[in-house]
Amino acid sequence: MSRTAQASPEDHLPLSNTVLTILLALADGEKHGYGIMQTVETMTGSQMGPGTLYGAVKRLLKAGLIEETDDRPDPALDDQRRRYYQLTGFGRQVLEAEVHRLEALIQLAHRKQIPGQAGS
């Protein structure tokens, strides 16, 4: 759904694991594609391939959840072919809505005393 259609953050939920981890990787600042893949691997312990990443990035750009940024580190230290991405304000709202949704699910699991939880 295009951002211009006045979507609410909840219209984008639930997020796929791929989208959630990309948005989480960008939550602490802009990154280029390879930096996103490295952050995702650190966060999850699993690798995200370039096809998966850039397919998701294309959809996230179209939905207005992320944007390409022109900010670059020192040009002498950076490859100009790299594209840097950052969360948009709307992307942060969607991420926050998904975190709240997941927290509610975790609270439900606690109330249902799912086996294997501490205190069960």
Please state the φ and ψ torsions of residue 67, each to the nearest 5 degrees. Answer: -145, 155
72 falls within a domain? yes
Taking every pair of Cα atoms in the chain, the longest distance, rounded to a whole number of angstroms, is 56
**Confidence (pLDDT) at 108:** 92
**Confidence (pLDDT) at 76:** 58
CB 10 within 8 A of CB 82: no
**Token pair 């992307």: residue:** 91
CB 48 within 8 A of CB 21: yes
The pLDDT of 86-93, averaged and rounded, is: 98
**Confidence (pLDDT) at 21:** 98
What's 27's domain CATH number?
1.10.10.10
Residue 3 has pLDDT above 50, yes or no: no
92 falls within a domain? yes
Q: What is the pLDDT of residues 32-57, one digit of tens each?
A: 999 999 999 999 999 999 999 999 99
Euclidean distance between CA atoms 3 and 70, whole angstroms: 21
Residue 60 has pLDDT above 70, yes or no: yes
What is the three-class DSSP state of 37?
A: helix
Residue 31 has pLDDT above 80, yes or no: yes
pTM: 0.84
Euclidean distance between CA atoms 15 and 95, whole angstroms: 9
Q: What is the pLDDT of residues 66-78, one digit of tens each?
A: 999 987 666 655 6
The pLDDT of 57-72, averaged and rounded, is: 92
40 falls within a domain? yes
Q: 50: domain range?
A: 9-111
Q: What 8-state DSSP symbol labels residue 69?
A: E
Q: What 8-state DSSP symbol labels residue 119?
A: T
21 falls within a domain? yes
Please state the φ and ψ torsions of residue 110, each to the nearest 5 degrees. Answer: -65, -45
Residue type at 21 in one-letter notation: T
66 falls within a domain? yes
Mean pLDDT across the chain: 89
**Confidence (pLDDT) at 75:** 62
Number of independent structural domains in the chain: 1
